[in-house]
Each structure stands twice: as C-alpha cells, then as structure tokens.
Structure 1
Amino acid sequence: MKSEMEDPLMVQIQLDHHHQSPPSSTYTFTKPKSKPTKSIILKMVASVAITLGLLFVFYSILFSVLEWRSSYRYSVVIDAGSSGSRIHVFRYWIESGKQVLDFGEENYGSLKLSPGLSSYADNPEGASASVTELVEFAKGRVPVGMLEKSEIRLMATAGMRLLEVSVQEQILQVIRGVLRSSGFKFQDEWASVISGSDEGVYAWVVANYAIGSLGGDPLQTTGIVELGGASAQVTFVSSEVVPPKFSRTISYGNVAYKLYSHSFLHYGQDAAEEELLESLQNSVADGIVTDPCTPKGYVFDKSSLKNSSVQAAGNFNECRSATFAMLQEGKENCAYKHCSIGSTFTPDLQ
C-alpha cells in the first residue's frame, strides 16, 4: 500500500465573487520524484508572489469600484417658478468629504411642467396633480431602496411671492401633503417660498461652482443676472460697503464671500414685458400704440390688450429708450449713493 505522503494532494479552491459564485474547481498536485533546485524554488516563489500581487490589485480595484458605485446618493429639488415648475434629480457621491456632482445624463435629470403654482391661487387643490407628476418623474430616476434616504425640497419663487401670504400657505399645504406621502425624505419646512435675494445667492453659487471659481479670490468670481418670469435677481461680490438689507455672506471652504443680492420684482421677462406694454397703452388715450420692442409682423392677442390697438415696430433704439425710462421710474426717491434701477441701491459696477 502506498503511504499517505505518496498520494496525490487534493486542493479545492473557491472564489467568492459576491453576486455569483462559480462552481468550485479541483486541482491535483503530484509529489515530485526529485527535489527542485534552488533556482527553480526562487522562480516558483517569484511567480506565486506576482500572481498573488496581481490578484490583490485586481480585487482592490474591484472592491473600490463596487464601494464607489454603492455610495451614490440622490437629492431632489423642485424649482417652482412663475411660468412653471421644474424638478431636478441629482445623483452624486462623496469624495474627500465633499459632494461631487456630475451633470451628465446618468447623474442628472429634469422635467418642467406648466403652469406655475401661482396659477392655482383660486384652486389650491389643483396644484396637487402637477407636483405629483413631477414626483413620479423623480421616482423613475431614484432606486426604490434609496427613496427614504433621499431628500426632496420645493422652493417657490417670484410667482408665489406675488400672492397673498394666506394664499401661498394654502398652496404650500397641498404640496406638503403630496411630498409627505411621496416616499422621499421630507420635512414640511422644506417646501417654502424663498426670498428674492436668497434666490439670487443660489444662482450665484451655481454659476461660480460650474466655472470653478469658488474657493478662490472673491473679486475673481462672476456676477449673475438671473432673468425669471416675474422677477430678476442681481448678485455679485462688491468691494463697496453694502447696506445690510442687500448684503449676504456665504462661506466656501476657508473663503468668505460678501455679496450684494437683490430681487427686482416685476422685472422678470414676462412681467417687464407686460409692464412696458401697459405703460405704452396708458400713454395713448385712443388709437394705435406702437411697440418698439416687439419684432414687426407679430400679432398681439387682443385679450391681453387694455384699450388700444398695438402694432409691433421692432425699433431697437426706441425700445432701448422706452426700457431705460421704465427702469428709472421712482429714482427720485433714491435714499442711497447709487440707484441704478428705480430707488433700489446698487453698488458701483467695475
């Protein structure tokens, strides 16, 4: 009978691939008839070491990739503007303690629905269907297991700011009910009407984050003019002392940014156009009103006209003059050193 030492050595190896384990493989090693030389032993040791090293690197990379993919997080924001509500769904990850955003198709999605929430002033319950459709869009981009961990917020802007506070609250209560039952992480205060100056600050942060200027010299940042439907936000870093009413300070890393930020209500694209048209109609008792800011050939909706016929003239110089005159209304009441628009303070531009 052969001794136990002379029997072939049977070794069973199983690789755990986490999700799917392949069938175990059996390898047979036979006891050599002669002792290997020193050089052969060294080569074998080196070969095994290299193989183990490569396996270690491979699995390290595999595990890091799996960990990175599993660390995706999601955040949902509804921007409720005057002309419509747009939902933004972000997929991001944490790197060196900071949130990293990538606006590629896989990591960002949005959907806009009209009309805006302010159009439901006479029927607050009507806002429910609009917000529900936006929430369903977000659910299609966030894994079911991540819903309760992903925050959803709604920020209403100028369209809602134009409504009475009591009407705002009625619409918000309807929206909060939808968001509470959405499955996302939500608190009632996360659905609100934000101030115009805060709206400008958010736009400024986004713009400077996108161009990579946050974290550097404040005076090397870029100012923004955000033209909404009902209001226009102006926000930038000023070297001039800004009155507290118009001042905002934010920090990014170790850098503090002192901002001028103000929202000019009624100067959004839609509201300003309506105001200019009304001003032109008021200047003529009867007859035809010439609108220099609308291209020739445009036919106005008669239901939107006050009491006159309006003809589009498409004259740039006259449009510029009419617009400038509108922006200067109320300037005589300016109580500050600089008032570029009406009686509102604006720092010197450099």
Structure 2
Amino acid sequence: MEDIKDSNENSCTRNILVILGFSCVISVIVLIAVGISQNKPLPQNVKYGIVLDAGSSHTSLYIYSWPSEKENDTGIVQQIEECQVAGPGISKYAQKLQEIGDYLAECMEKTRDVIPVSKHHETPVYLGATAGMRLLRMESEQLADRVIDAVIRTLSTYPFNFQGATIITGQEEGAYGWITINYLLGSFFQNSGWFSGISEKMNHEKTFGALDLGGASTQITFVPENHTMESPENSLQFRLYGKDYYVYTHSFLCYGKDQALWQKLAKDIQVSSDRSLRDPCFHTGYKKVVNVSDLYKTPCTKKFKRTLPFDEFQIQGTGNYEQCQQSILELFNTGDCPYSQCAFNGIYLPPIQGNFEAFSAFYFVMNFFNLTSEKVSQEEAIRKIRNFCSQPWNEVST
C-alpha cells in the first residue's frame, strides 16, 4: 500500500513468466467482449482493441490486435502495446473527479499513434475496474457512480468505439484471470503451431489453475475434478475454441496485499497500549506515522474498528519473519465451515486439482527476490525472504 510503505510445476519459460507478470488480468476482456463480438467485415484482416485495467493501486492500458478470421468462433489476440497510467487507482479520484481526464490523457493519446487512423472509429475501447472500485462502491455507491461517469465522459471524447466502463465482479475478475493464463500458455490450442514456442511437451488437454494477488483482493480459479459444486455461486461455465469448461472461482475481497496490511494494522493496534506499534512485518529501524482515520477509512477494517485514545500512531519495525507470518495468519478464519471443505472465512473450496500459475503481486514479489526460475525450491524461497526481513531498514532503503 502506497500510504503505508516507503517503498506445482512450472512448465513455461521465463519469458512467459514475464508476460504473466506484466499482462493484466482484464486483458482477456478483449478476448471475450471484443474478440468474439466484433464481426464486421474490414478492408484489412487485422482488428484492434483497447482495454484499460483499472486496479486498486494503478491503471494500465493495453492495445490488442487480432485477425478477422477466428478459430472456432474465438479470436487469436496479441498484445501490441502497454501503457502504465501515472498515478494511483481511479478510486482515489472520488474527491477530484475533474482530474480524471488528465489522468487518462497520456495513455489514451498514445493509442492514436499506435492504431492506424483508418481503424480508429471501429476500434473498441473498454475499461474494467476491479476491487478498489468495489470497495469504493461499498463505502458510497454515489461516489463510485460519479467516478465511473467521469471515466465514461473522458473516454467518449476519443475517436474510438467506446464500449463502456464498468466495475466488474470478483467472480468475473477470477474468470478473466483463468482465461488469460490458459490462453497465454496455449491450453486452449491442442494442435496450433501458434503456441509451439511455449512448450512442445505441454499437455493441452489440461488447464492451469490461476492465482491472482492484487492490491484489494485475491482470486483463485481452477477446473475441479467434479462439475457438481456445493456452492453454485462459485461455479462458472465457458465455451472457448469449441470446448466447454466448468470452473470454480472465488475472489477474496480485502485480502489483496494492500487491504490485508490495513487489516493487520487494525487488528494489531487494538492490543497496543500507547501510540506505537511494534510490528514484525516491517524492517528493524523502519518508522511510519499512520492516522487512525485512514486506518478505518476502508470497509476492510470495519470489523476491527474501536475507539482509540489517540488520533495517530507510529509503526516501529522489528523485522521478524516468523512473528510476521503468525500475525498475518490471524487474519484467516479456518475454524468455521458450512461445507465439506473451505478455504477460509467459511468460503467453499473444492479439492485442489492440477497445477497453478500465480501472477500479479505474486509475480512481482518473486521477481524482486529473483525467484522466478523454474528450479527454485520452496525452502530456498523462504530462506531468501527470511534473510531479507532480518535486514535493518537503513540497509534496505539504500
């Protein structure tokens, strides 16, 4: 979280890991909402699409192209350009709506140069907002609507075929992540040479599960062994490239990296007797002042809210890996389960099936530690992270 910080088998190559790390989950909206629906005949055999992924901590713009001819009624989409919008997520503009136009301008102007002018009027543009805006909507539906309306007004001024701006559900976010992973890894193409460079030995009859860690939520999606699930709201069905897929998906709102940290701080400050919080999840020597009003601003900390005898407190890092891990585990209720099997907080989870690919913040953390190699063991990863956590802040910050 910007406000708080100053700062099993992998069968794909490092290049694919990089793609997964820097490709947004919402990119697959092009595949579904655009690649399938845009069927108008064109003088050329290439079509374009623009997707903005409005996450909780930042917004990314992606430009895609695909041939007019489709394979089994689904387009083959390629990313041709990416632009990171400068600034935080769009939910942070709820009190400064007049700045949204400038916020999106640089990346939107870039699309004019990348996409041929003759294609502008038929190029669809779509914005999908995720958990940051879902949280804002929980705080104030009126504020969330105003942000989306401001985005719509801005995007409608460009010479493209504006398709809409919406807050997608957690279920949709998980589903799009699963499709993106399996699309990039070629799981949907059993005999296509288009993905032959990824892995010649890949079993295309199997799909990969998807793990997505964002700033405000985290998603898990996979194909369970049994299509019959105890929790129908966690079940989705797709038909892609001529084949039906039945998946389990759930989005854990408030368990993205930023909101989970807010939860942890709200939980721990309850037992503090003064204005300081000795926190093992920050490096020794790290200090940061936090306003209590900011701590309780998010809906994710409401269950921990209580009247404190101070308006602000100071985090004092102690840098202890084991104690930090134990503190974080206290955020997960694994005791109450109304189903035969649960993940945590009473959410149904069928038996885990197959191999998984982890991306977004999972990738960024592992990449920071140079742990994206195929042959890194869990023990080595834990050792590296433990050693990093034990370093004093003055060394880390330099």
Pairwise CA distance, 1:224:
1.3
Partner residue of 2:153 out of 171, 177, 198 = 177
Number of paired residues? 276
Say if 2:164 is the partner of 1:159: no
The equivalent residue for 1:113 is: 86
Any stretches of 5+ residues in structure 1 without a counterpart?
A: 1-67
Could you say if the C-alpha distance between residues 301 and 143 of structure 1 is closer, same or farther in structure 2, counting changes exceeding 3 Å?
Answer: farther
Q: Whose radius of gyration is greater, 1 or 2?
A: 1
Q: Residues 18-29 of structure 1 correspond to what in structure 2 (within 5 A)?
A: none
Task: Give the distance between the partners of 1:261 and 1:218, measured in 2 at CA.
Answer: 21
Residue segments in structure 2 that go unaligned for 5+ positions in a row: 1-41, 191-202, 296-310, 354-398
- Give a deviation string over 1:69-120, Cα, whole Å, max 9, x none: 94222100011111121111113324554533344xxx23332322211112
Give the superposition deviation at 1:218.
8.8
CA distance in 2, matches of 1:281, 1:307: 11
Amino acid at match of 1:138: T
**1:268 aligned partner, one-letter code:** G
Could you say which residue in structure 1 is the equivalent of 2:326? Answer: 321
Q: Which has the higher contact order (CA 8 A, sep 6+)?
A: 2
Q: Is contact 1:102–1:108 with CA below 8 Å preserved after alignment?
A: no
State how far apart, in whole Å, the 1-side matches of 2:52 and 2:243 are: 29
Q: Tell me the secondary structure at the aligned position of residue 284 of structure 1.
A: coil
CA distance in 1, matches of 2:313, 2:146: 37
Equivalence map 1:220-259=2 (5 Å) = 220-240=206-226, 241-242=228-229, 243-259=231-247
| Residues 317 and 74 of structure 1, relative CA distance in 2, 3 Å threshold | same
TM-score (normalizing by structure 1): 0.72
* Residue aligning to 2:197: none
Shift of 1:302: 4.3
Q: 1:93 to 1:296 in 2, by over 3 A?
A: farther
Q: Is the 8 Å Cα contact of residues 49 and 123 (structure 2) preserved in structure 1? A: yes
Letter in 2 for 1:338: Q
RMSD over aligned CA atoms reads 2.5
Q: Which among 340, 344, 347 is matched to residue 347 of structure 2?
A: 344
Aligned amino acid, residue 256 of structure 2? G
Query: 1:120-139, aligned counterparts within 5 Å?
Result: 120-139=93-112
SS of the aligned residue for 1:220 comes to: coil
**Whole-Å separation in 1 of the counterparts to 2:85 and 2:222:** 28
Counterpart selection for 2:54 from 54, 72, 80:
80
User: Could you say what secondary structure the match of 2:172 adopts?
Assistant: helix
Correspondent of 1:192 among 156, 166, 175: 166
Quick one: which amino acid aligns to residue 166 of structure 1?
Q
3-state SS of 1:100 partner: coil
Give the equivalent residue in structure 2 for 1:291.
Answer: 279
Q: Deviation per CA, 1:135-191, whole angstroms, max 9, x where unpaired?
A: 21222211111100100000011111112222222111121112222110124xx21
Letter in 2 for 1:227: L
Asked whether the equivalents of residues 281 and 307 of structure 1 are also in contact (C-alpha less than 8 Å), the reply is no
